[in-house]
Amino acid sequence: MAKLKIGFIGCGGIANQKHFPGMSQQTEYVDMCAFCDLIPERAEKAAKEYGTPDAKVYTDYHELLADPTIDAVHVLTPNIAHCEITIAALEAGKHVLCEKPMAATEADAKKMLEARDRTGKMLTIGYQYRHFPVNQVAKAVVDDGWLGDIYYAEATYLRRRGVPTWGVFTDKSKQGGGPLIDIGTHALDLTLFLMNNYDVDYVVGTSFEKLGRLLDPEHQGQVNYRGEHDSWNNETYDVEDSAFGHIKMKNGAVINLRASWAINMVGETGANNEAHATLAGTKGGLDTLEDRVRLNHVVANQPSVTYVGNKVASYIPGFSQGPAPLSKEADIWVKALRGEGELFVTADQAYCVTKILDAIYQSSKTGKPVYFD
């Protein structure tokens, strides 16, 4: 089988952290042959570091999509552009791996689903947390029946101070929202995936704009991923700094979602500081910890705790090291492109996540629940 030709639209943070290194492990099967960014130096640098010798560089994604030899593209731009570029790519006959969240709004995500169905091309979304070994262990525990009927869950991604200070994350016009749409989306995707329940009855939510604008940038107490003090611009900050949602499923189960990148709460002891899930069922419950799953169950009539998957693999900030998250996503994607496997994150599942997030924002504005069909 000939090598697949892959193009990349957006050559910023996540492209360099995940997609380029991930796909560069697949060069037995793919040619990384086209790179597009509004900032030409970014596309040029990517082509030089990761591209084939004849890799092309673009600043206009339409030109990249006009190349009939390209089989698939990765859409790695800010959220607001996901819909337009993904639909154009599908219409141009390309398969698409689009970054999370699927879209800035439910309406946009729906258009993307329709375009996938119209064109018959593949569409998947970059929810790599599902691939983390600890989360795979959690999925196996659930599927093995240790929890019974799951009726309560918490989906959590809380940063005490962790506002992204690169890119356009604090610009609502480019991202559609703040921590809810940026990191809450991962926690919710992970929780729905573990529960395997996408049937929503209604959603109530509240988002807060308390700290993002008020804090003096000199005293924000922000520490970035390299452990250095960093600050965000509170004059241009126009997204929420925390958001909370209550999601009632049609089978009666509820999920409480908490997302923040600036809130005066310390992290939970034992929990990891990234996306994690707590589930409670009729037979047992679990928490996804940093490197293992804590199963809360009853043994010999005694409430007991069992740690499952002892030190399965620690989470690596920035996905820069460790094979699991970045190579797994690329591996599954390339297998699906080659017709040798199925997509793991379906666009329908990602659509449900975006619909819930959109409903939380709507509910926060109106003070009312949003009912699903």
Q: Which residues of this protein are in contact with ligand NAD, per CB under 6 A? A: 9-15, 36-39, 42, 61, 76-79, 81, 99-100, 126, 128, 166-168, 182
| Smallest distance, ligand NAD to C-beta of residue 355, A | 17
Residue 156 CA: distances (Å) to CA of 49, 303, 337: 36, 24, 32
Of the pair 8, 146, the CB lying nearest ligand NAD is at 8
Of the pair 182, 291, the CB lying nearest ligand NAD is at 182
In sequence order, the 6+-apart residues with CB closer than 8 A to the CB of 366 are none
Helix (H, G, I), strand (E, B) or coil at 315: coil
Of the pair 39, 66, the CB lying nearest ligand NAD is at 39
Instruction: Dig out the tokens for 219 from the structure.
Output: 């005293």
Strands 284-288, 293-299: pairing is antiparallel
| Smallest distance, ligand NAD to C-beta of residue 99, A | 4
Distance of CA 181 to the CA centre of its chain: 9
C-alpha span between 81 and 108 (Å, rounded) = 10
| Smallest distance, ligand NAD to C-beta of residue 28, A | 24
| Smallest distance, ligand NAD to C-beta of residue 59, A | 7
| Smallest distance, ligand NAD to C-beta of residue 303, A | 35
Of the pair 176, 284, the CB lying nearest ligand NAD is at 176
- How far the first Cα of the chain sits from its last, in Å, is 44
The dihedral formed by the CA atoms of 143, 149, 152 and 157, expressed in degrees to the nearest 10: 0
| Smallest distance, ligand NAD to C-beta of residue 60, A | 7
Of the pair 108, 182, the CB lying nearest ligand NAD is at 182
Of the pair 14, 115, the CB lying nearest ligand NAD is at 14
Q: Which residue number has the CB closest to ligand NAD?
A: 12
Residue 205 CA: distances (Å) to CA of 76, 182, 244, 257, 364: 28, 16, 6, 9, 5
